[in-house]
Amino acid sequence: TNLIIHIKENYITEISVKEDKPYDLVAECDCTIVSALVRRGKLNVNPKEKVKKGQVLITGVVDVTDESGQLLFNEYCNADGEIIGQIKEKYEEKLNIKYQDKKRKKVLKL
């Protein structure tokens, strides 16, 4: 009896579809960029930079260049990454709390 097993690692079951338009990551609110990690795309901002709501942080258009730095073509992708921003926001909350004084018995010392 013979048993033959074929193992294939990292087999991709889905064929990747080439994107025909880019998807960007944009700022949800006004903030100051603290750090940025780009997985896919091109970073448009730098740390310590102030950004406005709706500003593109990571673009899905990547420039492909040759050795001399001349642009060959643009590659489109879904922008992916992590951006941490710092915001200043006033926060105030009033709580209605009922406070009951402790009742103490008077003790006379003789």
Per-residue pLDDT tens digits for 13-49: 555 555 567 788 999 999 999 999 999 999 999 999 9
Task: Please state, in angstroms and rounded to a whole number, the distance separating the CA atoms of residues 50 and 28.
Answer: 13
Mean pLDDT value across residues 46-57 = 92
* 23 CB-near residues (< 8 Å, 6+ apart): 60, 77, 78, 79
In angstroms, the CA 110 to CA 103 distance is: 22
- Domain parsing of the chain, residue ranges: 25-86
In the 8-state DSSP scheme, what is residue 47?
T
Q: What is the DSSP letter of 80?
A: E
Query: Considering the entire predicted model, what is its pTM?
Result: 0.62
Q: Reply yes or no on whether the pLDDT at 71 is more than 70.
A: yes
Provide the token pair at 101.
Answer: 């004084």
pLDDT at 50: 94
